[in-house]
Amino acid sequence: MSTSQPQARRATIDDLSKLTPLWRAEGLAAHDLEKRFKEFQLIEGPDGEVLGTIGLQISGQEGRLHSETFAHPEDGDALRQRLWERVQMIANNHGILRLWTQLESPFWHHVGFTGASGDLMVRLPSVFAGDQRRPWLFYQLRSETAPVVSLDKEFAMFREAERERTEKIFRQAKVLKMIAAVLAVVVLGLVIFWAISFFQLQRRRR
């Protein structure tokens, strides 16, 4: 694996020609995954080779990690770590409460995924179709009662604050403009008064 540490990013349609062989090599349903390529995050080497990928399916406030693949299995955990950091950022931005997975690598246990009990399993979205022979693991990102502020909401709040600040500046500028206009009128009046007084004084002297 290259030591240049390329960043993880979201897959695009241009990546399909590289992703499909990896999915097939892992025995995954490439035909189905091709339709869901937007779910995938990947790490690309400096030569354009896709080194590792993982899928993140989102349903409401629940997320599912699935279909991980690696071009060089010996580099798997190092790539998982970087993909995991990317997944957490995306999950937080979407206000996800929990991440679910049936991935079997010990790495996922190491970062905090634990077995889901029967009580918790009722929260597993039905759209997260999985292998019934494998147990489900989950990772709690935030409390059920914690306020959820997604990146979009934070941006909207920032935009609203900026709008109010801009309006305040415009109001202040309008007031200053009015004050400047009044001062200009006063100064003009004083100039006219001075000029009239000056000419009257000159007349008297004559």
Same domain, 41 and 124: yes
In a domain, residue 205? The reply is yes
In a domain, residue 43? The reply is yes
Q: How far apart are CA 42 and CA 54, in angstroms?
A: 7
CA atoms within 13 A on the CB side of 56: 25
pLDDT at residue 2 is higher than 50 = no
Give the Cα-Cα-Cα angle 50, 79, 75 (nearest 5 degrees). Answer: 85
Same domain, 162 and 77: no
Same domain, 40 and 137: yes
pLDDT higher for 119 or 139? Answer: 139
pLDDT at residue 11 is higher than 70 = yes
Least confident of 37-51, 93-107, 130-144, 167-181: 167-181
pLDDT at residue 101 is higher than 80 = yes
The domain containing residue 165 runs over which residues?
Answer: 149-206
Name the domain count of the chain: 2
Last residue of a domain, one of 125, 146, 167: 146
Same domain, 139 and 165: no
Average pLDDT, the chain: 88
Same domain, 47 and 109: yes
Strand partners, 101: 65, 137
In a domain, residue 124? The reply is yes
In a domain, residue 181? The reply is yes
pLDDT confidence bin for 144, thresholds 50/70/90: confident
pLDDT at residue 169 is higher than 90 = no
Same domain, 142 and 168: no
